[in-house]
Structure 1
Amino acid sequence: MENLIPVNYDSEQPTVSARDLHEGLGIKSKYADWFKNMSAYGFTENIDYTTFSKNLENGGRIIEHIISVDMAKQICMIQRSEKGRLYRQYFLDLEKAWNTPEQVFARALRMADKTIESLKADNTALLESVERMRPKEVFADAVSASQTSILIGELAKLLRQNGIEIGQRRLFSWMRENGFLVKRRSSRNMPSQKGMEHATIYQERRT
């Protein structure tokens, strides 16, 4: 089948450029006037066609339209010309090829591949989130395991027992950086508001 006009297969249905069709049909009137007249034949924007602007090399902009093959086929019939008949038959043959079992199956496989890739991306993000939260969860579990108040050195030991390699000094630094202890010199290493709130939560978990 001769390729009369470039066809885009990226969307749910094949589409073509209305400007390419205007040129291929040899329409004498200006593109903007022609498309305005054609779209008045009962076609609906964002269903049969989409509108967008395009930058030109000279700094200007023009309005373009992407139309469905079904709309293009009907436009060709409206032209009542030999080129219109030729292009209409081209689009009819295109639709037949598009709807063959092989093409339908191929599209289903492409959709399945996109779904799999999306799920992989979601799973990767979830795993990254789990890894970010793991130190805080281990910290919470370690504190909750203590039946009384706990020294930082003892807490560091509990954390190491839970798979977090950290010493007393590094734990002090981590707690300051994460807002559990106060940073400023006058109250350095005293429990922050956040730290006290978390301590209350941990206490409730133990009771």
Structure 2
Amino acid sequence: MNVNELKTFNHKVFGVLPLIQVGDKPYFGATAAAKMLGYSNTSDAISRHTKKDGVAFHEVIDSLGRKQKAKFISEGNLYRLITNSKLPNSEQFETWVFDEVLPSIRKHGAYMTTQTIDNIINDPEFGIQLLTTLKKEREEKEKALRTIEIQRPKVVYADAVEVSEDTVLVKDLATVLRQKGVNIGEVRLFKWLRENGYLCKQKGEMWNMPTQRSLELGVIVVKHGLRTGSNGEMKKTRTPKITGKGQVYFINKILEEQGLLAM
């Protein structure tokens, strides 16, 4: 593949991924990759999750036959899009790109264009530098893949909880936190919620009720109920409960505060 020559790779699930080579490095079609990874706003995703020094532009022909400048991103930036993607089969996309697409354009561990071969023959120092660069890229890839594997269970857990309509008691949230290594119980968690402005501190009817801040964040709600008193009369009850969004919010916040959140 010549420098800046556009090449396309097809997948029955994800579609067509354009790829160019800049120097000795592959660059992937930014918009196409973002769409494949499930981002609804591709421009925003590319802006938020990629670095500018890993971006290149290439002239392509659009559906109307016009020449347009398209954005392409480096391997590192593609890792970042994969890491932040919430697409259920993002792992399948990752496998396709890094186990099929890239190996199909690599030979002997390098992007061996005619120009590259000539450079190695005429300048052995160039070959040493190329191998050093490839080693560094491989190490970065392995590190990125490890990060993806570490984060994926946490992301899956967060997604599963956040979309749940169920609410849980404060004691249930404390149980989850203990399972994640935080030394906390129901009483201490109630205290933490009060001290950090999520539950009301004043004694009386408002004791342990969600603050306006909690209500606006959507992390705590009040569940109303009835119970039978000692005299047989029915009494109204109000119980603070943690929403699905709140479970993710508080778990991440407390784990980060305790230094237990994997970055």
| TM-score, normalization by structure 2 | 0.31
Q: Per residue, is there more strand in 1 or in 2? A: 2
Q: Per residue, is there more helix in 1 or in 2? A: 1
